[in-house]
Amino acid sequence: MTNVVELRSIYKTIHEHEILHDINLEVSEGEFLTLLGPSGCGKTTLLRLISGFEEPTQGSIRIDGHDVSGLPPYQRHVHTVFQNYALFPHMTVFENIAFGLRCRKVSQPEIKERVSKVYKWLS
């Protein structure tokens, strides 16, 4: 199975305060990952590093086998589902689920198929 996301020796320091210390993680294709922990433990910081909104103080982040250090968020093809609802109120459920796929210019037939799978998974 191929690793989709790999974190190697990730450290993040903000104002001399170490937020993340030597994080190593592999997420393989088809795996579903949930980050759980108390407030302030670094979950959001880790997601921001993976998505490119912040850079690690030290370590490397690979997505689909490519080092993404220095790449802006729009070139990483990573999406975050927030704890609080972040839906577009003017869109249907289908349109909200399909939004990210449309941004990636996935074909309409594939969007329909993939959103249908999500519907089945949720029900």
Torsion angle of alpha carbons 24, 39, 118, 32, nearest 10°?
A: 20
Q: pTM (2 decimals)?
A: 0.67
Residue whose entry in the numeric block shows the structure tokens 């969007």: 111
Torsion angle of alpha carbons 106, 102, 109, 119, nearest 10°?
A: 120
Could you please state the CATH topology (level 3) that the domain comprising 3-75 is classified under.
Rossmann fold (3.40.50)
Q: In this structure, is the dihedral angle defined by the CA atoms of residues 33, 37, 39 and 43, taken in order, positive or negative? A: negative
pLDDT digits (tens, 9 = 90+) for 17-66: 999 999 999 999 888 888 888 988 999 999 999 999 999 999 999 999 99
Share of the chain above pLDDT 90, in %: 49
